[in-house]
Structure 1
């Protein structure tokens, strides 16, 4: 097929898109295929392909989505994270970005296809690794009373319509007074637990407790 001559503007746009694709390809390797389509020539649209996961080649035709953009300039410019599938059946997550010229016509598309099969396999392995056996053993490796102390702090913050980390200095001092009166500060390593839960230093907690 004889290619029509690109305008200077279109050539500049395509050159920039190819540079972007090359950078994305290096950044997202090896799990993401990055493809540049020239929508002006749908029968041999692929201009560049990085991390080739689909088995396609430069000069292969546009996809159905590309043809839809060619037919309708109002077709969505960004389609993100939609389910897709490679030719060999592997599941993918794809994002397609249509590129327009100054006249509002689609001239190119930048597409990313993520192979999600490996990630799902890793997720399954991590889930199996982290799942505890349900053999009736009930043990905690943290010091006694830490969870009840955190829950009391959470209730205090909720009553003020805020979060433990967002408490002001005067509110933290009121909290420490309440914890002292209710006996929570007598718990082992209570000040360390309070500091961690509030997201402040132990020195700040000791100062607020004065």
Structure 2
């Protein structure tokens, strides 16, 4: 026997989804907007919006993805890391997760929109910091001259005493320096 889920069931689901959204928003603030969409009311689907980066408002209608989910039960449940943009042109990376009710229909969506501005600026800064101006490297060594020979002499000194360089005592190290 199939029963139609109660509105109360969807309400509880949406309330729990709102708690999840709030927790994610607190963790990912200030770089990530988290939106809860109530797809049972597409004309005013935005139920909650945390870290509002898109300047949208609670009560605004569903986006194209939300409408596509409502119309097509086979629409992908998770669409992750897709390119997006805020109204003011800032680039974003978005993830949209469809939430199904007891009958298997989409009743909600949890959406994350990451503002890439800071990360792109960091990427540019790192690129600039690691950039080198010369095409052909200069022949310069940053290690002391004859470092291999010095290491070899230390190893031989320690080996004559049947020890490793690290196990040499203070008086043996003084003798090594005098050699």
Same fold per superposition (TM over 0.5): yes
Query: Which residue is equivalent to 1:59?
Result: 59
Over aligned residues, Cα RMSD in angstroms? 2.4
Matching of residue 138 in structure 1 with residue 101 in structure 2: no
- Counterpart Cα distance in 2 of 1:112 and 1:145: 57
- Counterpart Cα distance in 2 of 1:98 and 1:45: 13
SS of the aligned residue for 2:151 comes to coil
Note if contact 1:143-1:188 (Cα within 8 Å) is conserved in structure 2: no
- Counterpart Cα distance in 2 of 1:12 and 1:145: 74
- Counterpart Cα distance in 2 of 1:13 and 1:65: 20
Displacement of 1:118 after TM fit?
A: 1.8
The structure with the largest alpha-carbon Rg is 2
Runs of 5+ consecutive residues of structure 1 not aligned to the other structure: 1-5, 147-183, 190-202, 204-210
**Cα 1:18–1:133 shift into 2, 3 Å:** same
Displacement of 1:17 after TM fit?
A: 0.6
Displacement of 1:7 after TM fit?
A: 1.7
Q: Over residues 152-180 of structure 1, what are the superposed CA-to-partner deviations in whole Å (9 max), with x where a residue is unaligned?
A: xxxxxxxxxxxxxxxxxxxxxxxxxxxxx
- Counterpart Cα distance in 2 of 1:57 and 1:7: 24
Runs of 5+ consecutive residues of structure 2 not aligned to the other structure: 1-5, 153-165, 167-179
Query: Which residue is equivalent to 2:15?
Result: 15
SS of the aligned residue for 1:82 comes to strand
Within a 5 Å distance, the mapping from 1:175-186 to structure 2 comes to none
Matching of residue 188 in structure 1 with residue 160 in structure 2: no
Matching of residue 90 in structure 1 with residue 90 in structure 2: yes
- Counterpart Cα distance in 2 of 1:37 and 1:44: 9
Q: 4+ runs of 1 displaced by more than 4 Å?
A: 142-146
Query: Which residue is equivalent to 2:160?
Result: none
- Counterpart Cα distance in 1 of 2:73 and 2:145: 64
Q: Over residues 75-132 of structure 1, what are the superposed CA-to-partner deviations in whole Å (9 max), with x where a residue is unaligned?
A: 0000000001111111110000000012101000000001112211111111101212
Greater helix content: 1
Displacement of 1:142 after TM fit?
A: 5.2
Displacement of 1:69 after TM fit?
A: 0.2
**Cα 1:131–1:75 shift into 2, 3 Å:** same
Displacement of 1:22 after TM fit?
A: 0.2
SS of the aligned residue for 2:132 comes to coil
SS of the aligned residue for 1:111 comes to strand
Matching of residue 115 in structure 1 with residue 78 in structure 2: no
Query: Which residue is equivalent to 1:28?
Result: 28
